[in-house]
Every structure is written in structure tokens, then in C-alpha cells.
A and B are shown apart, each in its own frame.
Chain A
Amino acid sequence: MNYSAFKILTQGLTGNKGWKPAWRDPKPKDSYDVVIVGGGGHGLSTAHYLAKTYGITNVAVLEKGWLGSGNIGRNTTIIRSNYMLPGNEPFYELSLKLWEGLEQDFNYNAMVSQRSILNLFHSDPQRDAFVRRANAMMLAGADAELADQQQLRRELPFLDFDNARFPIKGGLYQRRGGTVRHDAVAWGYARGADSHGVDIIQNCEVTGFEIENGVCIGVRSSKGSIRAKKVAVCVAGSSSRVMSLAGMRLPIESHVLQAFVTEGLKPTLPGVITFGAGHFYVSQSDKGGLVFGGDIDGYNTYAQRGNLPVVEDVAEGGMAIMPMIGRTRLLRSWGGVMDMSMDGSPFIDKTHIEGLYFNGGWCYGGFKATPASGYCYAHLLANDTPHPVATEMRLDRFKRGHIIDEKGQGNQPNLH
């Protein structure tokens, strides 16, 4: 069923009795061409592009819980492509371009809102670094715009420009950045994949891999054994647990990132704003709540909740750039578990086991990457060669010395 304004009108006039479930609830078949392990945003997006762009439709997506139960529903919904390194920036720019055409592509309202993202800077050296980043972004075809303090005083008068310790000197805009309704992304991709014949199987946990003579020929699951020509793991947050079933150790630690939302307010923030002297980012949802977050808690964990020291740190970050945030009341906070990789960048690669593919290590940047991650993973699964913008995202890059370390922190996952 194609969704359209006309459909809403005719359905409204006929008692809304013609709506059908957005995807089927099939039983798993005995075998598939590709089995995708993990029905999060990236897994569903992989299935969608595999079927739609690469014509491989004999595909199953196995999800342990229900669709949207993982990090696709726990992030702060920001999209952007303001990276710097050549191994990253073209990839994230492809992702932003895919976001721009996404709703037409999968015929679903994901509320993609390019309301801009602004990275504040607080010193002259930091401005120089941001100018360099802006140039790198523009070289990769992205948009970037430097705003001085005067301009920001006009546009965002509520910021604490004259903060004694971290005065706001200006900021780097990416006007095409913004926010997306995150669970609609999961539903839209699920519906898109399903409409091309992909089987989405929920409440189906993968408990092991069938590996014979170094070749992966299927998975064992809570709904029985399923054979597959290719098995594509896509379970960021639980990557180490799942890949250990295949005997692999990964360059990844699992960490928790907390997020917060306040009570609903009248329109206050035009776009996404980030603090340059600490770790804090904030936007306003369409319901009116301020959605914000900051640093990861910093220790290995699989608990989807964090601890209070980081709550305090995030609140301090908010108070440092916009003191008016202190007048709002916090409604909810939650945590999501993420793969923190050794250089802060992700992996989309084959493994040393033939037929077994891996996508993970998204750190806290997985949401914005959802379309390109799926697109490039589908490309890899279909052609057995990496997509041109994902050639650096290899598992063996540490061995080769070709790390993609945006922050220059070295192999310390909790610093990325």
C-alpha cells in the first residue's frame, strides 16, 4: 500500500478500515541468500537497500526483540556530516544525501528536518581547527558555514556569550544537518524491505553460527537453524557478544551513553547546538522537549542505564552555554549501549570466516549513519567489494596502521 495524502483522505472517508499492517510477520524459511542478524536501524536499512538497490530479495532480518527496541529508538536523533578525515567524511556525506531523499525512497514520513547543526567554538585555536574541518567538509561535497559571534548573538540571543571561562566566539554551521524521528526510520525501512519481499522475523535470537571448514553456512536461532549463503551481523552494542559465538575478538568495548529530555516547551531552539569546550549537545523535539546528551559513562557496560556523575557533567555542560536550561524540568533519561571502537570509527567488512560479514563499532554516531551504513553494507554483501566511500572501514586497519581517529586519542575507546 502506497501512503499519500489522497490515501489519508479516502481512508478517513471510509472509516479507516482499509489500513493494513506495515509489514508481515512471517515464519522463517529453511534457507535464504542473506540472513541479517539484528533488526535495528542499520540491519533494516541493509535489507531495504539489498532488496531495492541491489535486487537481492531472498533475505531475512532476525531481531532478538521487537523492531525499534534497541539503539534506533534510544539516540538523540541528530543527523549531520561534519567529520574531517577522508576515511569518514565522504561516507557521512553520502548518508546525509540519502537522508534527504529517504522519505520519498521508502514512502514513509520519517520527519526528516534539516534544521541545522551548530558547533560552538570558544577560543581562537578552536576556530582555526573548525575552519580546517569546514574546508575538509566542503572538499567532500558537504556544506559548512562559519558564523562569528555577532551573527550568533542575533540568531541565538539566549547563549551565554560572555561566560567567564568558555566565552562563545562563534560557531560552525552545517545547515543541512538536523533531526529525524528515529523510530519512524526503523518502521519505514522495515516497511520498505518487507514490500520488496524481505522476511522480518522478530523475537528471534541468534544463538550461534553454523561454521564448517571455515565457511559460515547459516545461523542457529531461537526459532531453529536457518541456512544462508551469507550471514551479515549488524548488532552494534552487542557486537562482541555475538561475534564471540564465531570465536572472534573485536577492537571494541561496550559503553553506555545517556540521553535526557525535558518537559515540553514552546519553540525555543531552532536547530541542534553543541558545546565546544565540553561534551553537550541539545535540540528541541517537535513535541517541545529539549533533547540532550553528553559524554559516555566511560566504563565497560551492557546495562542500558548510566550513573549520576555523568548526569551532573551533562547538566553542567548545558548550564555553561545556555543558563536558561536550568529553569526546565527533566522528564526522562535513559541509556543506550554502544560499540566503542579503538579509533572511534566503524567497521563494514568481511571477516576471516567466508560468508560471515560484520557491521559495527558505530560508537555514539550510529544514527546519522543509518542510511549509508545499510547502503554500503548491502553493496559489500552484493558485490563482495567495499563501497567506494567505505573502503577504509576495515577490521584489519589497526594491523595495517591505517586507523581513522578523528579525535587523535589512540586506542582508548572511552576517550573517543
Chain B
Amino acid sequence: MIINHPLLGPRDSAEFTYLGDARLIDRPDWQSDTATAEFHDYGYLRDNPAGNHRELWFHEGGDRSWLVVTRNTVTHEIKSVELARDVARAQGRSK
């Protein structure tokens, strides 16, 4: 697979390590009353869809940026690649 890095252009996926579902960006609030249940779901449960999947890839053998890659898990076709930083900021995760 070739991942079209937003800053570096097309790169071999072997340069990256894979973390998993991009929903891992949405870390639960540890002060919430239901934090225990939320962290269980966050840590252990996955949608694992057949079809489009937004997922986190780390450019370990490159510029060490985190990417959100939207990829089809049936065909391996990559639809879009964003910097995870931009995605997180758009969700208000960082100042």
C-alpha cells in the first residue's frame, strides 16, 4: 500500500506503524462519573467495519507524524490522508 503523506507525498506503508481506529483520538474524560465504563469501551471495544475505516498510522520511518488514513478494509484502497494533528484540532482536542 502507498500512503499519500500530506507533507511528504506518496510513501510506502512499510515506513509506518499501525495503531488502530482513529476514534482513539477521542479519549474519554477521566473526571466523568462513568469514566470506568467509558475507558473500557475506549480501550477494548472496536467497530472493526468491513468498508471505509478511519485509522491512525505513525510515520516511524519518516517524519514521525501521526496520520489519519481513511482506507477501505475490503479493497485496501486509500481514500484520504490527513494529519492527525489537524483532525484532533478540528475536534477541539488541542489548543
Contact = CB atoms under 8 A, between A and B. Distances in A.
Interface of A: 238, 240-241, 244, 249-254, 298-303, 307, 309, 342, 398-399, 411-414
Contacts of B71: 299
3 tightest A-B contacts by CB?
A: A240-B48, A309-B14, A249-B45
B43 A250 contact: no
Interface string B1-25: 1000000000011100111110000
Contact of A300 (B17, B40, B55): B55
Contacts of B46: 240, 249-253
Interface stretch (B26-34, B73-81, B86-94): B73-81
Given A300-B20, A301-B73, A399-B40, A309 B13 contact: yes
A128 B13 CA distance: 36
A249 B73 contact: no
A251 B44 contact: yes
Given A249-B46, A307-B13, A309-B14, 4 more contacts: A238-B50, A298-B17, A303-B76, A412-B20
Contacts of A307: 1, 13, 76
B44 A342 contact: yes
Given A252-B48, A309-B13, A303 B43 contact: no
Given A249-B46, A250-B45, A251-B45, A302 B1 contact: no
Nearest to A396: B40
Nearest to B75: A303
A254 B53 CA distance: 12
A253 B74 CA distance: 13
Contacts of A254: 48, 50, 73
A414 B44 CA distance: 13
A244 B48 CA distance: 10
Interface of B: 1, 12-14, 17-21, 40-41, 43-50, 53, 55, 71, 73-76
A228 B9 CA distance: 54
A409 to B, nearest CB: 13
A157 to B, nearest CB: 35
Contacts of A342: 43-44
A412 B73 CA distance: 18
A300 B45 contact: no
B20 A303 contact: no
A103 B10 CA distance: 53
A399 B73 CA distance: 28
B48 A398 contact: no
Nearest to A239: B48
Given A253-B20, A298-B18, A413-B20, A303 B44 contact: no
Nearest to A254: B48
A249 B1 contact: no
Nearest to A413: B20
17 contacts: A240-B47, A240-B48, A241-B50, A250-B46, A251-B46, A254-B48, A254-B73, A300-B21, A302-B50, A302-B73, A307-B1, A307-B76, A309-B13, A342-B43, A342-B44, A412-B19, A412-B20
Given A249-B45, A253-B46, A307-B1, A302 B13 contact: no
